[in-house]
Chains A and B, each alone.
Chain A
Amino acid sequence: MFPTPVQKSGPLASAAYQIILPIALVIWLLPLLGVAVTSVRPSGDLAAGNYFGIPSSFAGVENYKAVFRDSPIGTYILNSFKITIPTVIGAVGLSCLAGFALAVYRFKGNLALFFLFVAGNFIPFQILMVPVRDLTLKLGLYDTVTGLVLFHVAFQTGFCTLFMRNFIKGLPFALIESARVEGVSEWRIFLHVVLPLMRPAIAALSVLIFTFVWNDYFWATVLVQGQSAMPVTAGLNSLNGQWVAAWHLVSAGSIVAALPPVLMFFLMQKHFIAGLTLGATKG
């Protein structure tokens, strides 16, 4: 193991490490902690200049209530779910199919297609912006949840296909061969032999795509204008413009917007990290 475990360097080093660790964490998360504390501060504190001290009273319930009552953040959160969940299902579904095809069959253009999906991941969004906005307008889907979902599904399919293809390549090919020998159709092989083995990949991708799409801001500003379809990222930014200097509300809104992906991360941590670090160990 590298670096040398602190335990081997004696009890003093070990104790020092255990003291430094929480201090380092607090410094690292200082901006976030500040926002968390501000979100439970009564507005009077800010007016009185008490920005860092201990809040004069706990106003958490009040502030969070105010955020939901005085702003459409509830609608924004709901929209974010309406955009994120269908995107996860769509992108993961399409990439299961495409990844299977690229991993299992040898045909001309296989590698070229694979690299098309890979390359698509890396391009700047701005090169897609004008045509995608135009297409969405023409389809009558501008300012709708559906318009955003369709784009996100298409774009995320690139990354998901890369992931799925590499995952299926790692499965034992003999399983597929023996099913073929028994005369099982290709579709049934996919459905009954390969798909059940893909559960960990599906779980990893679902949490990742959920987080990516939930946190998207650019496409929300390009394809949505009004409140009716706006997700919480874009909504929060526009609220920030309205709540000038009402930092206790901005903070509470930020915490609300950040919560779903954070919960997702903590509940599915193993899958999340497995998905994110794909390729960090081999190759």
Chain B
Amino acid sequence: MMSNGSTASGFWKRNQRQWAPWLFLAPGILMFLVYVILPIFQSIWISFEDWDGLGPKTWIGFGNYIELFQDEAFYTSLWNNILWLVLYLLAVPAGLAIALFLNQTVAGIRLYKSLFFFPFVISQVVVGLIFTWFYAPDFGLLSTLIKTLTGTEIAVLADERYVTYGIIAAGLWPQIAYCMILYLTGLNNINPEQIEAGRMDGARGFRLFWNIVLPQLRPATFIALVVTVIGALRSFDLVSVMTAGGPYGSSRVLSFYMYEQALSEYGYRMGYGAAIAVVLFVIMMVFISIFLVRMFRQERNS
């Protein structure tokens, strides 16, 4: 653009403010369109087809969805997703509790905070393996503990009644750490004058926390809720690593069931898998829309 002749550079000089943003955006938008935006629509399209991933595709309309709504495994997965969602939200108050516990200024507290945050940094595959070992019958730390306390043994991951709760507990571990760090940052930025004013007015303990501290933590609470809801609905790694959906498919969630249908030894049913993914997408869109509307309002106000 330096020496492309006077007319060309003149044109560029006059119009660069108009064109520059699009040139800056082009590579990012291109990648995002090809790998993220377009595939959403392709998936929706494929969900109306019967396809093994290689051969010809056959249009079957709502065939996949009709099958889905009569599929017991689908309802098991959906129910487990609801369980995940509800119980995963415990990470928010638990994270807040640990943050309140750690928000002190004693020697070495920084190191303590980092070590409490540790579970979030390691891979969910490793978390899954750690908890599989923790739950293992005969020698796992937890089952030994239960055995000494109650005298009976529980194989958490092999028992249809407990398996999903066991996996969710494993998922809560890093998620609580995540919420904790959000709240620690939030607590760090609280206006100390308001706290002091509250104390002057005689507010103490829980009332001070509820009326003055918690409202100031709202941004942290919002982010904690967003990442926890998304995390609950995205849960895949732990289910795959700890039980592969078992025993007898009782710990499946939608994301895992979708993967199983589309890509595992059970067959390559791309259309059916896509239909499951679309259902998960629709459920998530409900939450995503709420988040986006809130963020959009903030953008416009700022």
Contact = CB atoms under 8 A, between A and B. Distances in A.
Interface string B195-236: 100000000000011000100000110111010001001101
Interface in A215-269: 215, 217-218, 221-222, 233-234, 236-237, 240, 247, 250-251, 254, 257-258, 261-262, 265-266, 269
Interface string B30-47: 011011111110110010
A21 B106 contact: yes
B144 interface: yes
A127 B130 contact: no
Contact of A97 (B24, B126, B129, B237): B24
Contacts of A251: 133
A2 B208 contact: yes
Contacts of B91: none
A124 B40 contact: no
B16 interface: yes
B284 interface: yes
Nearest to B134: A31
Main secondary structure of the interface of B (DSSP, over half): helix
Chain A contact-residue range equals 35 or more
17 contacts: A2-B100, A2-B208, A2-B209, A35-B133, A97-B24, A105-B17, A126-B255, A130-B43, A135-B34, A218-B237, A233-B123, A258-B121, A261-B121, A262-B122, A273-B181, A277-B181, A280-B224
Given A273-B185, A281-B220, A2 B213 contact: yes
Interface in B1-54: 1, 16-18, 20-22, 24-25, 27-29, 31-32, 34-40, 42-43, 46, 53
Interface string B265-286: 0000010011011101100100
Nearest to A121: B230
B115 interface: yes
Contacts of A280: 182-183, 185-186, 219-220, 223-224
Interface in B50-65: 53
A208 to B, nearest CB: 11
Contact of A254 (B29, B35, B129, B258): B129
Interface of A: 1-3, 5-7, 14, 17-18, 21, 24-25, 28-32, 34-35, 38, 46, 49, 51-52, 94-95, 97-98, 100-102, 104-105, 107, 110-111, 113-120, 122-135, 150-151, 153-155, 157-158, 161, 185-187, 190, 211, 214-215, 217-218, 221-222, 233-234, 236-237, 240, 247, 250-251, 254, 257-258, 261-262, 265-266, 269, 273, 276-277, 279-283
B31 A157 contact: yes
A217 B128 CA distance: 12
B80 to A, nearest CB: 15
A94 B187 CA distance: 33
Interface in B245-302: 254-255, 258-259, 262-263, 270, 273-274, 276-278, 280-281, 284, 287-288, 291-292, 295-296, 298-299, 302
Contacts, number: 298
B139 interface: yes
A106 B291 CA distance: 24
Contacts of A110: 21
B69 interface: no
Interface in B146-185: 173, 178, 181-183, 185
B189 interface: yes
For A3, A111, A262, the residue with the greatest tally of chain B CB atoms inside 10 Å of its CB is: A3
Contacts of B37: 116, 120
Interface of B: 1, 16-18, 20-22, 24-25, 27-29, 31-32, 34-40, 42-43, 46, 53, 100-101, 103-106, 112, 114-119, 121-126, 129-131, 133-134, 139, 141, 144, 173, 178, 181-183, 185-190, 192, 195, 208-209, 213, 219-220, 222-224, 226, 230, 233-234, 236-237, 240-241, 254-255, 258-259, 262-263, 270, 273-274, 276-278, 280-281, 284, 287-288, 291-292, 295-296, 298-299, 302
A154 B141 contact: no
A114 B209 CA distance: 36
Contact of A126 (B18, B119, B189, B277): B277
B133 A38 contact: yes
Given A135-B34, A186-B17, A98 B28 contact: yes
For A52, A105, A129, A262, the residue with the greatest tally of chain B CB atoms inside 10 Å of its CB is: A129
B182 A277 contact: yes
Nearest to B177: A28
A2 B207 CA distance: 12
A127 B278 contact: yes
A34 B24 contact: no
